[in-house]
Amino acid sequence: MKKKFVNIEIKGEGQIGVIDLGVIDVLKDGETKTCNVIRQRLEPKLVEALSSHFDCTVKIRMTNVISSVGAIEVNVDVIIESEEQDYEEEVKLLETWVY
């Protein structure tokens, strides 16, 4: 089994980083359990990466696992709590094959 990695992409900014999801076995766990595992591993790491990138507090509004079979694809709506005003950003996470 190979580790799974996803690129963090923000509209207008492109790729800002990569998250290591560890080993994920869809065939063993089934799709529903795999989606839950992806969410559990992804969300804390994404909040940490985005908080560092934006230099402010970030909260996850909604995580939508589009695909866990084949290439992993996840859309996450986050709230960026900046000093001026809070705003929402859509973050796309796409599996990358080489790392």
Q: Please give the structure tokens belonging to residue 48.
A: 């940490």
| pLDDT tens over the chain, length 99 residues | 688 999 999 988 899 999 999 998 876 767 788 889 999 999 999 999 999 999 999 999 999 999 887 789 999 999 999 888 999 999 999 999 765
Rounded CA-CA distance 31/10 in Å is 26
Structure pTM?
A: 0.89
* CA separation for the pair 10, 92 (Å, rounded): 6
Write the Ramachandran bin of 85: left for phi over 0, alpha for psi from -120 to 50, otherwise beta: beta
